[in-house]
Amino acid sequence: MGMIDISGKKVVLREAVASGRIMLSPETVKLVKAKRIKKGDPLLVAEVAAMKAAKQTYLLIPHCHQIPLNTVDLGFSLGDDYIEASCLVKAEAMTGVEMEALVGASMALTTIWDMVKYLEKDKDGQYPLTSIGDIRVIKKTKAPLPKGGANP
């Protein structure tokens, strides 16, 4: 079977945005907002983890091509009992970047969980309120490269 041959596809400017949400206790979200998490700022660490993961997507998902990424950008919004992560990925490539955006968003959320898990565990060491979900591609676009490339 093998990897899909993309030899005939044109290099175009591709962009994808993926997002997801981690549900947390309101007390944990308050501590994140107050920057009082023992391991440091979960949003900053999650941003770095997501950028690293997006760049390594081809190593994680067997049929993904290695794509040189132009940018990976993370955004976060905090509610009373959740943190939403949004991951934008851009590349000049022959194939899309939605898998990179999904991996980036997923890793950001997983990193946040790791950094706040000590607050989320109940007396039995379980996570009754903590969950990650609603991971999805929000937007996917492709456009011809401007004359001279995307960065003339």
Active site residues per annotation: 114
For the record, the structure tokens of 85 come out as 């992560």
Q: What are the φ and ψ backbone dihedral angles of 9, each rounded to 5 degrees?
A: -80, 150
Beta partners for residue 69, in sequence order? 91
Q: Are 20 and 134 in contact (CB under 8 A)?
A: yes
Strands (E) located in the chain: 12-23, 69-78, 82-93, 131-143
For residue 76 the two structure tokens come to 């976060």
